[in-house]
C-alpha cells in the first residue's frame, strides 16, 4: 500500500505507475482518494478544533461556577452539548472516510522499481541468465505422472475419489523423494544462516489482507466456514504475519527465516487445475524463505534470495534460468520479482519452480510492522522467495535424472536423505 502522503504529493507518478501495470481502469481511484483525503483532513481539523474548544470551555465553566455566575456557565454548558453532538457526527464521518480511503489505497498498485521491464503479461517477461547446460537425452522422456506410476509412486484416481481433481497420493520411493527434497532444502537454508520455523497453517483475515491484494485473495484462499480463518496458500503469509503490529529494534534486523508448510490454493483463473499431472494442484508442500529488513538493504537481500534457489537446484544438477517479471505480471504489492525456472527435457523448455519478490514497505504498512532506530520510526521492507515446492519440483528432478532404462539417479547431496540410495529402480 502506497503512503497517502506520497500519493497526495505525486499523483502523476502514481497514475503513470498504474499505466505501466496496464491497469488503466484504476486511474480514477487516484483522483477519488485525493478528494476523500481532502474531505477527511477538513473533518479531522474541525473535530480537533471542537476537542480543543471543549477543554477551553470546561475551564471557563469551572471559573464561572467559582464566581457564582451560574447563568453564564449554563449557556456555556449548552454550547458544550451542541459541540459534543457535532463532534460525534464528525467522528462517525472521520471513520467512514478513513475506511473508504483505506479500501481504495489497498487497490492502488505499489510503485514498481525503475529496473522492472514494462510489459503487459508474463509473455513479456525477460530472461536474465541461465545456469547449467540444458540437456535433451536421446531417449523419450515420459510424462511425469507416467514416470511416477512406473514406481507405483502416485495414485491420482484414489485421490480424485477422496478429494477431487487437484489432489494426489504419493507412495513409496516417490513419497520418500518428496520428503527428502523438503528436508534437504530446510538444511540448505539453515546452512545459509536462516532460522528454521514451522508456522501456523491458518491465518486471520487481517493478516490475509495485509500480505496480498484482494484479487489474489479471491483467486487463492480457502475460507474456513464460520470462523475468521483462512488456509495458507504459502507460508510467507503466516511468516510475515508473525510481525503484525510490532515495533522491532533496528539493530535486530534483518530477520531471515525459512519455513516449512503445506499450502492450499483454489487456483481459480485461466490456468485451472491439472486433471492428470501435479504441476498445478490444490495442495502441496513448500520450503519458503522470508526477510524483514531495513529499506536500504532490501535490494541486496532480493539478489541473495533468488540466488539461494538457483544454488539449490544447481546442487542437484538441475539446469535453471532466472526470468525478470515485467510490470504487467507483478502482483499489486510487488516492487520487483524474479522467477526461477527449471529445465524440462521432455518439453524442451523451462518452467517455473520458484518466485522471488521484493514488496518494499507495502506489507509492513498494511500490517504495521515498524522499525525504531536513531532516526525514529519507519516501516520495514519485506521479501519472500520459494526455496523448493514439491511435488512440482519432482517434475524437474525426475526428468533431469531419468535414465534410458527407467531408473532415476539420486544426486550425491540428496543421498543421505534417501537412506544412502544412489538410484531408484
Q: Are 381 and 361 in contact (CB under 8 A)?
A: yes
Helix or strand or coil: residue 375? coil
Question: Is 272's pLDDT higher than 60?
Answer: no
The model's confidence at residue 273, banded by pLDDT at 50, 70 and 90, is low
Q: Which residue has the cell 483454489?
A: 266
- Cα separation, 15 vs 9, in Å, equals 12
Position 271 scores a pLDDT of 59
Dig out the grid coordinates for 18 from the structure.
498504474
In the chain, list all ranges with CATH 1.10.287.40: 4-105
Task: Tell me 139's DSSP state.
Answer: S
Positive or negative CA dihedral for 296, 289, 248, 359? positive
Question: Is 66's pLDDT higher than 60?
Answer: yes
Strands 381-388 and 195-197, sheet pairing: unpaired
| Average pLDDT score over residue span 52-72 | 73
Q: Comparing C-alpha atoms, which of 342, 353, 331 is closest to residue 286?
A: 353
Question: Is 31's pLDDT higher than 60?
Answer: yes
Q: Angle between the 172-191 and 392-401 helix axes, to the nearest 10 degrees?
A: 100
Model pLDDT for residues 292-349, shown as the tens digit of each residue:
999 999 999 999 999 999 999 999 999 999 999 999 999 999 999 999 999 999 999 9
Which residues does residue 377 pair with via DSSP β-bridges, in sequence order?
A: 372
Strands 320-324 and 126-131, sheet pairing: antiparallel
- Whole-angstrom CA distances from 29 to 100, 157, 299, 367 are 11, 48, 29, 22
Q: Are 382 and 367 in contact (CB under 8 A)?
A: no
- The CATH architecture to which 122-424 belongs is 2-Layer Sandwich (3.30)
Position 86 scores a pLDDT of 87
Question: Is 275's pLDDT higher than 70?
Answer: no
- Cα separation, 310 vs 320, in Å, equals 7
Contacts of 40 (CB under 8 A, 6+ apart): 94, 97, 98, 101
Q: Are 108 and 6 in contact (CB under 8 A)?
A: no
Q: Are 22 and 15 in contact (CB under 8 A)?
A: no
Position 213 scores a pLDDT of 80
| Average pLDDT score over residue span 246-266 | 96
Average pLDDT of the chain to the nearest whole number: 93
Q: Comparing C-alpha atoms, which of 150, 175, 189 is closest to residue 308?
A: 189
Position 59 scores a pLDDT of 67
- Cα separation, 295 vs 224, in Å, equals 35
Q: What percent of the chain has pLDDT over 70?
A: 96
Position 80 scores a pLDDT of 74
DSSP 30-96: HHHHHHHHHHHHHHHHHHHHHHHHHHHHHHHHHHHHHTT-HHHHHHHHHHHHHHHHHHHHHHHHHHH
Position 299 scores a pLDDT of 97
Decide which of 3.40.50.10470, 3.40.50.2000, 1.10.287.40, 3.40.640.10 is the CATH code for 4-105: 1.10.287.40
Rounded to the nearest angstrom, the gap between the alpha carbon of residue 189 and the centroid of all alpha carbons in its chain is 19
Q: Which residue has the cell 511435488?
A: 391
- Cα separation, 320 vs 340, in Å, equals 7
Position 219 scores a pLDDT of 81
Cβ neighbours of 272 (radius 10 Å)? 11
- Cα separation, 189 vs 195, in Å, equals 8
Model pLDDT for residues 76-134, shown as the tens digit of each residue:
777 777 878 888 999 999 999 999 999 999 999 999 999 999 999 999 999 999 999 99
Which residues does residue 339 pair with via DSSP β-bridges, in sequence order?
A: 323, 355
Position 421 scores a pLDDT of 96
Position 218 scores a pLDDT of 79
22: exposed, middle or buried (Cβ count in 10 Å: 0-12, 13-18, 19+): middle
In the chain, list all ranges with CATH 3.30.930.10: 122-424
Of the candidate ranges 74-88, 173-187, 191-205, 264-278, the one whose mean pLDDT is the lowest: 264-278
Amino acid at each position: 500500500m502506497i503512503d497517502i502522503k506520497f500519493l497526495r504529493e505525486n499523483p502523476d507518478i502514481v497514475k503513470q505507475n498504474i499505466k505501466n501495470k496496464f491497469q488503466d481502469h484504476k486511474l480514477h481511484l487516484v483522483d477519488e482518494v485525493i478528494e476523500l483525503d481532502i474531505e477527511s483532513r477538513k473533518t479531522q481539523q474541525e473535530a480537533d478544533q471542537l476537542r480543543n474548544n471543549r477543554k477551553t470551555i470546561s475551564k471557563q465553566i469551572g471559573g464561572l461556577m467559582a464566581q457564582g455566575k451560574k447563568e453564564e456557565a449554563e449557556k456555556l454548558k449548552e454550547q458544550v452539548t451542541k459541540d459534543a453532538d457535532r463532534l460525534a457526527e464528525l467522528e462517525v464521518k472521520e471513520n467512514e472516510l478513513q475506511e473508504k480511503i483505506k479500501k481504495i489505497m489497498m487497490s492502488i498498485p505499489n510503485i514498481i522499481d525503475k529496473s522492472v521491464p514494462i510489459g503487459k503479461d508474463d509473455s513479456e517477461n525477460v530472461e536474465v541468465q541461465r545456469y547449467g547446460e540444458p540437456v535433451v537425452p536421446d531417449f523419450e522422456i515420459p510424462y511425469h505422472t507416467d514416470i511416477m506410476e512406473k514406481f507405483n509412486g502416485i495414485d491420482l484416481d484414489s485421490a480424485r475419489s477422496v478429494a477431487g481433481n487437484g489432489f494426489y497420493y504419493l507412495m513409496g520411493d516417490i513419497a520418500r523423494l518428496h520428503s527428502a527434497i523438503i528436508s534437504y532444502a530446510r538444511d540448505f537454508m539453515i546452512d545459509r544462516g536462516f532460522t528454521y520455523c514451522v508456522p501456523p497453517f491458518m491465518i486471520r483475515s487481517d493478516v490475509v489482507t495485509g500480505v496480498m491484494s484482494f484479487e489474489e485473495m479471491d483467486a487463492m484462499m480457502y475460507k474456513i466456514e464460520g470462523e475468521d480463518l483462512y488456509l495458507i496458500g504459502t507460508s510467507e503469509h503466516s511468516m510475515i504475519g508473525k510481525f503484525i503490529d510490532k515495533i522491532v529494534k533496528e539493530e535486530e534486523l534483518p530477520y531471515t527465516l525459512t519455513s516449512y508448510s503445506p499450502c492450499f490454493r483454489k487456483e481459480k483463473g485461466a490456468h485451472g487445475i491439472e486433471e492428470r499431472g501435479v504441476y498445478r494442484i490444490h495442495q502441496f508442500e513448500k520450503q519458503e524463505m522470508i526477510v524483514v529488513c531495513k529499506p536500504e538493504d532490501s535490494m541486496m537481500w532480493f539478489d541473495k534470495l533468488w540466488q539461494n534457489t538457483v544454488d539449490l537446484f544447481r546442487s542437484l544438477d538441475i539446469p535453471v534460468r532466472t526470468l525478470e517479471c515485467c510490470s504487467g505480471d507483478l502482483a499489486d504489492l510487488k516492487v520487483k520479482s524474479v522467477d526461477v525456472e527449471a529445465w524440462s527435457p521432455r518439453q524442451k523448455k523451462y518452467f517455473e519452480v520458484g518466485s522471488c519478490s521484493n514488496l518494499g514497505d507495502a506489507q509492513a504498512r498494511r500490517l504495521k510492522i515498524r522499525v525504531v532506530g536513531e532516526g525514529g520510526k519507519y516501516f520495514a521492507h519485506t521479501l519472500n522467495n520459494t526455496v523448493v515446492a514439491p511435488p512440482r519440483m519432482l517434475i524437474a528432478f525426475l526428468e533431469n535424472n531419468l535414465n534410458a532404462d527407467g531408473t532415476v539417479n539420486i544426486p550425491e547431496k540428496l543421498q543421505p536423505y534417501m537412506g544412502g540410495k544412489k538410484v531408484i529402480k
